Amino acid sequence: MKGEILKMLSRAEGYTSGEHISEQLGISRTGVWKHIQSLREEGYTIVSVRKKGYRLEHSGTGFSAHAVSSKLRTEGIHIEHHEKIPSTQTRAQRLAQGGARGWTVVTADEQTGGRGRRGRPWSTKKGTALAASIILRLDKLPQEAAAITPTAAVIINDVLQRYGVDTRIKWPNDILAEGRKVCGILTEMHAEMDELHYLIIGIGVNVNETDFPEEIKPTAVSLRHLTGQEWDRSALLAALLDELKKRLPEFEENGFTPFREDWLRYSTVINKEITIHQRHQSWKGRAVDIREDGRLIVETETGQKEVISGDISI
Ligand code: BTX
């Protein structure tokens, strides 16, 4: 409800009367007033003038469900926010198993057990990071769904570039700036052989961190480091969700194909000599292309190989 009120106030030219809000949202005038008070306590500056109503003067930079909702331009996205949670990904899994609809998004201000691929940890510090897991129910076959990771990487990269950050995609699931990791994407799916039940895209962005745990200091970077300014996490997440909501139907219709050229342009690995680290082996080659299903094509002395999973060092 607070998100709806914020949305109305931020879209209004001047004042919005309490009566209008109460009519539009089907709540009492006292209810409106209580929500306004609660928003003020969270740091929003809302001016009220008798007979005129309310006007939003300063939209806070807090990270909450209604802060994100009020900044979304697209409809149909439901946010479940947690102040502290082990992992938004695990919570989203549970919600999806319980039947939650597509475009339910779990967010958190702090994750105590944030995870990356193969059980690796993902650091999400309180008050500075962006952590979100999006439940998607797409009309796709399981084998077609894997290419959602490079597709999401292109879309996220576009949004960050629009904000003026020079980011690049590192296969399979990282977004780098100045050669360091600013964002990680974790895609998980629940499927049978011929039926995709749901996908969960987990997005972790380093936003306002000024410091990182010792073990990732050399390889991690935050948007704040890169731009020298504090970012509004809810505005950034709203922008990411809007863009994903707008462009994923294209993936549902035509797969990775419409995104592939952009991926190649943004990639840090194409035409580079790389080492691929897989579970039981590491080998060298030259990355030359990406397939429509998201597999990386690598030229080696013994011919071309397709890589489904692994980590790359350049
Ligand atoms: P990944 O397996 O590619 O990367 C994990 C590795 O990245 C770690 O082993 C560590 O070296 C490094 N790392 C950990 N934290 C950070 C960080 N904050 N910044 C830079 N490097 C780091 C990447 O997996 C996918 C991460 C997805 C995270 C999201 S957050 C929302 C959702 N919830 C959840 O538990 N995971 C996802």
ipTM: 0.99
- Among 82, 85, 122, the mutation site with the greatest number of ligand 1 atoms within 8 A of its Cβ is 122
| Beta pairing class for 273-278 and 195-206 | unpaired
Instruction: Quote the crossing angle between the two packed helices 2-11 and 29-41, to the nearest 10°.
Output: 90
62 among annotated binding-site residues: no
The three-class DSSP label of residue 184 is strand
Ligand 1 centre to CA of 236 (Å) is: 18
pLDDT of residue 11: 80
Q: Give the span between the Cα atoms of 269 and 170, in whole angstroms.
A: 6
Sheet strands (E) in the chain: 45-49, 53-58, 78-82, 104-108, 129-136, 167-170, 174-177, 180-192, 195-206, 273-278, 281-290, 296-300, 303-307, 311-313
Quick check: CB of 277 below 6 Å from ligand 1? no
pTM for the whole structure = 0.88
Q: List, in order, residues 6 or more apart from 94 with CB less than 8 Å away.
A: none
pLDDT of residue 215: 96
270 in Cβ contact with 288 (< 8 Å): yes
Sequence letter at residue 141? L
C-alpha R_g of the chain:
21
pLDDT of residue 60: 62
Quick check: CB of 149 below 6 Å from ligand 1? no
Quick check: CB of 122 below 6 Å from ligand 1? yes
pLDDT of residue 7: 84
- For the chain, list residues with pLDDT below 70: 58-61
Quick check: CB of 204 below 6 Å from ligand 1? yes
247 among annotated binding-site residues: no
Nearest residue by C-alpha to atom 21 in ligand 1:
220
Residue 146 token pair: 């894997």
Ligand 1 centre to CA of 87 (Å) is: 11
Q: Report which of 103, 98, 125, 102 is spatially closest to residue 114, judged by C-alpha positions.
A: 125
Quick check: CB of 89 below 6 Å from ligand 1? yes
Q: Report which of 248, 243, 269 is spatially closest to residue 175, judged by C-alpha positions.
A: 269
List b or e across 228-241, with b for residues whose CB sees 16 or more CB atoms inside 10 angstroms: eeebbbbbbbbbbb
Ligand 1 centre to CA of 293 (Å) is: 23
Q: List, in order, residues 6 or more apart from 179 with CB less than 8 Å away.
A: none
Residue 101 token pair: 């609809």
Q: What DSSP element (H or E) covers 142? A: helix 142-145
pLDDT of residue 22: 92
Q: Give the span between the Cα atoms of 88 and 111, in whole angstroms.
A: 7
Nearest residue by C-alpha to atom 28 in ligand 1:
204
> Looking up tokens 């597709």, which residue turns up?
151
53 among annotated binding-site residues: no
Peptide bond into 142 cis (omega under 30): no
Q: Give the span between the Cα atoms of 248 and 256, in whole angstroms.
A: 10
Quick check: CB of 93 below 6 Å from ligand 1? no
> Looking up tokens 């995709």, which residue turns up?
196
Quick check: CB of 287 below 6 Å from ligand 1? no
Residue 244 token pair: 């994903």
Neighbours of 189 (CB within 10 A): 17
The three-class DSSP label of residue 233 is helix
pLDDT digits (tens, 9 = 90+) for 43-95: 788 888 888 899 887 666 678 898 899 899 999 999 999 999 999 999 999 99
Q: 101: which DSSP letter?
A: P
Q: Give the span between the Cα atoms of 170 and 267, in whole angstroms.
A: 6
Domains of the chain from N-terminus onward = 2-58 (1.10.10.10), 65-266 (3.30.930.10), 273-313 (2.30.30.100)
Atom of ligand 1 nearest to the CA of 111: 35
Q: What DSSP element (H or E) covers 249? A: helix 233-254
pLDDT digits (tens, 9 = 90+) for 126-138: 999 999 999 999 9
284 among annotated binding-site residues: no
Ligand 1 centre to CA of 122 (Å) is: 3
Quick check: CB of 186 below 6 Å from ligand 1? yes
